[in-house]
């Protein structure tokens, strides 16, 4: 990214909108210590992003997606998105596709852990990073990755944070995001948005698909993933930092959300780096 108007090879014709002058159907862009823009952007290529180190939050329509280390996110062409992260260091690989198969999978956002075969394929593809010249092997290999994605996808929808469509409920999310380590009082939250506790619960569930309490639990677990990634704290320390009174309580909640325990996540991170 040597030029402020060039992002991943695409030309920013105006803020957040990218023109595509690249002749390749697919190409790779891998950067260590990835830098983020703080605004939405859109381009006419499908995007496969692989978080090799760190984590990222992607803001897409009415949802926020956490993409931890060794996970990928597929974003369809023409979908506005932006990303952010508070990780100290992020290594990110992006594969951009002009065309995607006309099946439902490629028309929606997907986040999933990268199985070992796909990870090896992505690392192999990194040798073509920023190569915008015709290359037959590159073309066929990147197409093989694309065509295989639906078979690799074992999606965890709990990495998606739903955002209410009503502006009136946004302060509830902001309050929980800021004070996630503390217990919530639904009556106090309801007062902040001039609702009864019952109305708040009903409206929040209708707009997000989950209860206020589930949202609180989800935020705590996603925050814990950030802390696990830093490798600075023990799991017991992390449990207390995100508001749990014991490691077993944290582990049980983590298991319910992520379908695996936090110890497995730490082990997978160490294995990926070895």
198 or 3, higher pLDDT: 198
Residues of each domain in the chain carrying CATH 1.10.10.60: 164-273
Given a contact cutoff of 8 angstroms between Cβ atoms, the answer to whether 106 and 46 are in contact is yes
Question: Tell me: the pLDDT tens digits for 149-164?
Answer: 999 887 666 678 888 8
How many whole angstroms separate alpha carbon 267 and alpha carbon 237?
A: 17
Pick the residue with more confidence: 267 or 251? Answer: 251
| Whether the predicted pLDDT of 145 surpasses 60 | yes
CATH tag for 164-273 (out of 1.10.10.60, 1.10.10.10, 2.60.40.10, 2.60.120.430): 1.10.10.60
Q: Reply yes or no on domain 6-159 having CATH 2.60.120.280.
A: yes
The string of pLDDT tens digits covering residues 74-131 is 999 999 998 888 777 889 999 999 999 999 999 999 998 888 899 999 999 999 999 9
pLDDT class for 267, splitting at 50, 70, 90? low
Q: 170-206 as b/e, with b when 16 or more CB fall inside 10 Å? A: eebbebbeeebeeebebeebbeebebeeeebbebbee
Where in the chain are all domains bearing CATH 2.60.120.280? 6-159
How many CB atoms neighbour CB 213 within 10 A?
13
What lies within 8 Å, CB to CB, of 41 at 6+ separation is 7, 12, 16, 17, 18, 80, 81, 82
Work out the average pLDDT over 5-34: 84
């Amino acid at each position: 990214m040597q030029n402020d108007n060039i992002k991943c090879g695409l030309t920013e014709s105006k803020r957040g909108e990218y023109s595509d002058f690249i002749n390749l159907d697919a190409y790779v862009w891998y950067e260590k210590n990835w830098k983020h823009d703080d605004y939405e952007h859109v381009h006419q290529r499908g995007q496969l992003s692989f978080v090799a180190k760190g984590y990222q939050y992607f803001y897409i329509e009415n949802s926020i997606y956490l993409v931890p280390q060794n996970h990928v996110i597929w974003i369809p062409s023409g979908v506005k998105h932006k990303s952010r992260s508070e990780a100290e260091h992020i290594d990110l690989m992006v594969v951009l596709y002009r065309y995607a198969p006309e099946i439902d999978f490629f028309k929606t956002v997907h986040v999933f852990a990268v199985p070992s075969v796909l990870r090896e394929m992505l690392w192999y593809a990194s040798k073509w990073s920023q190569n915008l010249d015709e290359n037959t092997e590159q073309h066929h290999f990147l197409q093989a990755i694309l065509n295989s994605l639906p078979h690799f996808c074992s999606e965890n929808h709990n990495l998606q944070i739903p955002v209410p469509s009503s502006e009136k409920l946004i302060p509830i999310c902001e309050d929980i995001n800021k004070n996630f380590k503390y217990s919530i009082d639904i009556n106090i939250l309801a007062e902040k948005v001039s609702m009864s506790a019952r109305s708040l619960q009903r409206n929040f569930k209708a707009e997000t698909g989950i209860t206020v309490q589930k949202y609180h639990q989800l935020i705590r677990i996603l925050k814990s993933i950030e802390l696990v990634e830093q490798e600075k704290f023990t799991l017991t320390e992390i449990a207390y930092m995100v508001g749990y009174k014991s490691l077993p309580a944290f582990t049980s909640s983590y298991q319910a959300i992520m379908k695996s325990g936090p110890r497995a996540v730490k082990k997978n991170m160490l294995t990926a780096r070895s």
